[in-house]
Amino acid sequence: MERQRLIETDFLIVGGGPAGCIAAIRAKEINPDIRVTVVEKAEISRSGSAGRGMDALNNVVIPGVSTVDEYVEAVSIIADGVIDPAISRVIGERSFGILKRLEQWGLSFPRDEKGGYIVNQFHPKGRFLVEIRGDMKKIIARETLSLGAEIYNRHVVLDLIKDGPRIAGAIAFDLSDGSLKTFVAPAVLLAAGGAARIGLNSTGYLHGTFDCPWCNGEAYRLGYEAGARLTGFDYTGIAMMIKDFNCPGLSTFIRHGAWLVNGLGERFMERYDPVRMEHAPGGVRTKAMLEELKARRGPVAFSFSHLEGRTLDLIESGIYEAERPTVRQFLQRRCIDLRSQPLEVVFSEVYLCGGHGLTGMVADRWGETDVPGLFAAGDCLANPYGFLPGAMCMGEAVGERVVSKAYSRPDDNEVDERLAVLESAIARHRKGALNVPVREFEYKYRRLVNEYVAPPKSGSRLARFLKETDAMVKDQDDLPAPDPHGLIKVFEAKSGLFSARLAALASFFREESRFGLYHDRVDYPEKDDANWQTRVIVHRGPDGPVLEKERT
């Protein structure tokens, strides 16, 4: 296998989504001489879960509309009291600056007749949501390039390098020719997304997931192996999705006043959360939906027919133009007119995500993990329901920290050893002694997630998942990878299985029910604040994962 020269940089960013790009921009703004390198699996103008676009900043603290304290309170309600408020506070403080930055770059945010931003409610309490118009990811990528960040598109980081306790760089795989590149850097930002392919989705296609399917827990695995602490794996998210397409629209529909109705036409949230109704936390909403289906009052759908024409115009322009234009084609194919017909929704697969949930690396208010020089931002950081603004706010904080702290150049004495291990692992996959296609392997662990990890959970089923997947852990290093693309799919599947097992372990550990459906334990049906209003932390111990409670 061809080895290329060591590439030295001051700040290595793993993942060129919104978090990674804003980190690069901020570092270069403060110090144009700093060498910033972005390693991106796709192409940065269209990469990540926001690659096509996004129709709203869900959480911006607009002066005069809301306060940072109100924002932290709203997030705490969604997270059932189990958050580290420090990160949410940073997001609240920085979010308006991010909006102004995006506006300056050419994105627009609808305003009312008096010139103020139109701010909608999505959270259970408070108004923080501002709609976006414009092609966001292209604009952010353009700014990243204009400041001189060096971009390695179609490269995937497979391993991190350390120098004693501190970070020292990473080894990346070049998808174009299958070679390895080593980056030596005193500061590394992991911004490579959450884990989308955990449960098995109902569309019949493994990549037809709610969240971006090309991020499958690789950042969680890299951070864990480097020694970072992680949390939120007990928060196994499930979203309401447009049936068969498995495409979201929830935030758009709810903020504009759409109703959730059952097969009898009843607005069923009245039965479960009569005050907050559709604005109830996601786990409460999905649990209500499950109850309706169990009572044979399905199908469940969003109903729009009571809304005014101009509101429907806003919904359609948001989901068709700012987010995914393919929704329009899907609905046209199905002859579904939102103005007169309900839109059926189903459960998504289980996913793990920092921005749409609680799962990710634990970090300080600058995004730095317990490993000196290793940072996290975006969906791989525990930034509870930080959504898109959370990714960008924490990216900005990381960029500032990396420049101001001026990390010294690490020794790279681990490089040869790590390269040898990685080359040996890749050679083993090329041989592929297991002779089982990676898709079959992935289908199996995801089917097992649905059977044993997806809520409602029980200790016996969670233990069963771990037992059933022990053999898969042994098998995984012999999965065949006939070409560079196949190798990436193997690493994604291994990271997915790794993340699913952490989800089972953390869910087993939390002996109570919390987060609505998301951690509904049939063997511990009550919420137990006295013992469990804590985060569940997981980190790498000498004999495997170690789990701990951490009161926040």
Partner 1 sequence: MNLSIDLECCIGCGACAEYCPGHVIAMNEENHPYEKYPDDCWYCGVCQIECPADCIQMLFPYLVR
Single out the residue of 15, 20, 51, 480 in contact with partner 1 (rule: CB under 8 A): 51
Q: Is residue 244 within the footprint of partner 1 (CB under 8 A)?
A: yes
Contact 322, 130 (CB under 8 A): no
The owner of tokens 């020719």 is 177
Minimum CB–partner distance for residue 350 and partner 1 (Å): 18
| Tokens matching residue 147 | 């400041």
Q: Which is nearer to partner 1, 41 or 287 (CB)?
A: 41
Q: Which is nearer to partner 1, 27 or 157 (CB)?
A: 157
Q: Is residue 142 within the footprint of partner 1 (CB under 8 A)?
A: no
The owner of tokens 């997931």 is 209
Q: Is residue 209 within the footprint of partner 1 (CB under 8 A)?
A: yes
Minimum CB–partner distance for residue 43 and partner 1 (Å): 5
Single out the residue of 7, 158, 228, 247 in contact with partner 1 (rule: CB under 8 A): 247
Q: Is residue 373 within the footprint of partner 1 (CB under 8 A)?
A: no
Task: Candidates 101-109, 206-214, 225-233, 342-350: pick the segment binding partner 1 (CB under 8 A).
Answer: 206-214
Task: Candidates 48-56, 78-86, 122-130, 255-263: pick the segment binding partner 1 (CB under 8 A).
Answer: 48-56
Q: Is residue 272 within the footprint of partner 1 (CB under 8 A)?
A: no
The upper half-sphere exposure of residue 345, i.e. CA atoms within 13 Å in the direction of its Cβ, equals: 28
Single out the residue of 13, 157, 212, 226 in contact with partner 1 (rule: CB under 8 A): 212
Separation between Cα atoms, residue 62 and residue 68, nearest integer Å: 9
> How far lies 387's CA from each of 81, 149, 202, 337, 367, in Å?
18, 25, 25, 29, 15
The upper half-sphere exposure of residue 11, i.e. CA atoms within 13 Å in the direction of its Cβ, equals: 32
Minimum CB–partner distance for residue 59 and partner 1 (Å): 23
Of residues 54-93, those binding partner 1 (CB under 8 A): none
SS3 labels along 354-403: CCCCCCEECCCCCCECCCCCEEECHHHECCCCCHHHHHHHHHHHHHHHHH
Single out the residue of 431, 439, 467, 474 in contact with partner 1 (rule: CB under 8 A): 439
Q: Which is nearer to partner 1, 122 or 210 (CB)?
A: 210
- For residues 164 to 183, the per-residue mask of contacts with partner 1, x marking binding by CB under 8 A and - elsewhere, is -----------x--------
Q: Is residue 206 within the footprint of partner 1 (CB under 8 A)?
A: yes
Contacts of 164 (CB under 8 A, 6+ apart): none
Q: Which is nearer to partner 1, 247 or 362 (CB)?
A: 247
| Tokens matching residue 17 | 């989504």
Separation between Cα atoms, residue 98 and residue 91, nearest integer Å: 10
Q: Which is nearer to partner 1, 51 or 384 (CB)?
A: 51
Contacts of 453 (CB under 8 A, 6+ apart): 199, 236, 350, 461, 462, 465, 500, 503, 504, 507
The owner of tokens 């102004």 is 100
Q: Is residue 306 within the footprint of partner 1 (CB under 8 A)?
A: no
Task: Candidates 164-172, 240-248, 255-263, 447-455: pick the segment binding partner 1 (CB under 8 A).
Answer: 240-248
Of residues 323-362, those binding partner 1 (CB under 8 A): 324-326, 329-330, 333
Contacts of 411 (CB under 8 A, 6+ apart): 163, 168
Helix residue ranges per DSSP H, 453-528: 459-475, 484-509
Q: Which is nearer to partner 1, 199 or 208 (CB)?
A: 208
Single out the residue of 4, 6, 32, 43 in contact with partner 1 (rule: CB under 8 A): 43
| Tokens matching residue 308 | 């005014």
| Tokens matching residue 382 | 């525990």
Q: How many residues bind partner 1 (CB under 8 A)?
A: 32
Footprint of partner 1 on this chain (CB under 8 A)? Answer: 42-43, 45-48, 51-52, 154, 175, 203-209, 212-214, 244-245, 247, 324-326, 329-330, 333, 439, 485, 489
